[in-house]
A and B are shown apart, each in its own frame.
Chain A
Amino acid sequence: MELNAGTAGTGSHKTASERDEVAALESLQFTDEIRRLMSAPATDNASSFTALLELPAPQAVQLIHSPDSAKLIAAPAPAPNVDEFKGSFNFPFNSGLIERATRFSLFAGDGSINDNNKSNSPEPTSYNSSANLQKPVKSEPAETESYQPLVSDPTVENRSTKRKDREKVKGSTKKSKTGAKDSSDDAEKLPYVHVRARRGQATDSHSLAERARREKINARMKLLQELVPGCSKISGTALVLDEIINHVQSLQRQVEFLSMRLAAVNPRIDFNLDSVFTAESGSLMDSNFSGMVMPMMLPEVQLNGNRQQYPQQLHFDAFQQPVWGTEEVCNNYITPENSLLSYDSSGNSASLHSNQLKMEL
């Protein structure tokens, strides 16, 4: 599973690198303009955006490439030109040229991000703080897709088409969480006539935030679609949600049935487990299990025939016995957290246990 993801990532990265060069070439034309635009201080109005324009340009760039950039653009390999360019690329000034250039840089960024984030351990939560730019909104699927063995190319292309759509939409497409992006956003919009009307309104930041929120949700829905079998062909949120609900319900029902089966199999199953875990540890065992284990020694012999790895397992579990044996004296689930937390600590110590289980699985 991880292999697939890796190869998909490298595949896209190869194409990304050639696009990278194109982007670098194009960026040479734009960086000057962008730098000028970004450093142009805004004649401020009352709107919320322009208040954020106070941020000087280098700080803006700094913010854009902040270390939190598991979520941000942060392409490690390419030249700083391309970085800056990518930082400010998503402003719709000359739409045709920009679209092309941005798409290239988008691919470049995504390729490197995919590779980056496969090494990172992606966090499912806490996007609010640092996911600032439009591109990070797209890079989130790249990041979270490292969970899954997705092919990165179709998703990247999806993003490019979405990007085109977004550019046609009014200027209120960006999240307003950082000042940096907004500052450059506004700064470069100022010289251009085709500023959309909505920009100056106070409610704009809300619609921006809502739209960004929408983007986040849609990205995650895509992941869900991949996860649930048979959902990728369906288009439309409602139907996909339907499928997801059915899937979750069926899984829960399966759990119920299986637990019923386990319960019905016999009380023996529980005792077997006890004996399985405690048979060899007769010496170390505390009083609770002794009563139950003794009569069950005999079936345990045949049990060992079927699951050969268990006796070895017992060895290591025996060491864990003293740790949680005493806690189970108070039995029940009085504090499942406490008891299971202690399981955690003991579980860490016996890594070989997991190897044995792996054989069974």
Chain B
Amino acid sequence: MRPCDSLKREFLKKWMMGLQSCSSSNKDMSILERKEAIKLSADVAMACARNGATCWSRALIAAGAHSKHGAPREYSNKRIRSKKILKRSCRIRIRRRKRSKCSAQVGRASSISKGLVRQRTRILKSLIPGGESMDEASLVEETLDYITYLRAQVDGMRSLVDASELDR
């Protein structure tokens, strides 16, 4: 699905403002810093375009704030930790039940495939911002959202790059 125009517009709008504030602050940074600043502004703009309706956007905003402050990071860490504990306990319970139920029938193949799937969800969780503290269903939703927004972001950035290169 192509990101729709309104989305791109939103993103570009917010990103322009973010870029301005960013550039007004430090005029000469090394190129890496500037790249980071641009990327950060783009990310935060993207996340705000979503108005914090999704988990990844909130996590992105928190990460953006965190680059200046330490406080939001602690918040998210606590939340993540508590969720991890909860998940661990649930997982143990589920595993016990599953083992008692159907250990014999399940062939090797399905367990292998399940392991693969689990490994890949773990990787996906590491990719999506704020993905650690999400269960599978919401993770899939978040990736849906995230992919559309990434696409919009890439399109917007590319158009900006083209426009700026036209300038030369």
B13 within 8 Å of A (CB atoms): yes
CB nearest to B163 among chain A residues: A307
**Is B24 in contact with A328, judged by CB distance below 8 angstroms?**
yes
**Is A337 in contact with B113, judged by CB distance below 8 angstroms?**
no
Q: A residues within 8 A CB of B120?
A: 238, 241-242, 245
B41-66 interface bits toward A, Cβ cutoff 8 Å, 1 = contact, 0 = none: 11111001001001000000100110
**Is A357 in contact with B13, judged by CB distance below 8 angstroms?**
yes
**Is B124 in contact with A245, judged by CB distance below 8 angstroms?**
yes
Within 319-347 of A, Cβ neighbours of B (below 8 Å) are at 324, 328, 331-337, 339-341, 343-344, 347
Q: B residues within 8 A CB of A347?
A: 10, 13-14
A204-230 interface bits toward B, Cβ cutoff 8 Å, 1 = contact, 0 = none: 001000000100110011011011100
**Is B140 in contact with A227, judged by CB distance below 8 angstroms?**
no
Query: When A248-B128, A332-B68, A343-B17 are in contact, do A203 and B147 touch as well, CB less than 8 Å?
Result: no
A169 within 8 Å of B (CB atoms): no
Q: B residues within 8 A CB of A273?
A: 16, 19-20, 23
**Is B116 in contact with A340, judged by CB distance below 8 angstroms?**
no
Stretch at the interface among A24-32, A72-80, A262-270: A262-270
Query: When A217-B140, A263-B35 are in contact, do A227 and B61 touch as well, CB less than 8 Å?
Result: no
**Is A340 in contact with B68, judged by CB distance below 8 angstroms?**
no
Q: Number of contacts between A and B (CB, 8 Å)? A: 213
Q: A residues within 8 A CB of B111?
A: none
Q: In whole angstroms, what is the CA distance A272 to B23 when docked?
A: 10
Q: A residues within 8 A CB of B12?
A: 357, 361
**Is B159 in contact with A361, judged by CB distance below 8 angstroms?**
yes
Query: When A224-B144, A241-B121 are in contact, do A248 and B150 touch as well, CB less than 8 Å?
Result: yes
CB nearest to B97 among chain A residues: A203
Q: A residues within 8 A CB of B150?
A: 248, 251-252, 255
Q: A residues within 8 A CB of B34?
A: 263, 267
**Is B48 in contact with A302, judged by CB distance below 8 angstroms?**
no
Interface centre among B20, B38, B40, B150 (most CB of A within 10 A): B20
Within 224-258 of A, Cβ neighbours of B (below 8 Å) are at 224, 226-228, 236-238, 241-242, 244-245, 247-249, 251-252, 254-256, 258
Q: In whole angstroms, what is the CA distance A180 to B67 when docked?
A: 50
Partner of A263, one of B17, B38, B54, B163: B38
A271 within 8 Å of B (CB atoms): yes
A-B contact pairs, 14 of them (CB 8 A): A236-B113, A237-B113, A237-B117, A241-B121, A256-B35, A262-B35, A267-B27, A292-B24, A307-B163, A331-B21, A332-B21, A334-B69, A354-B13, A361-B9
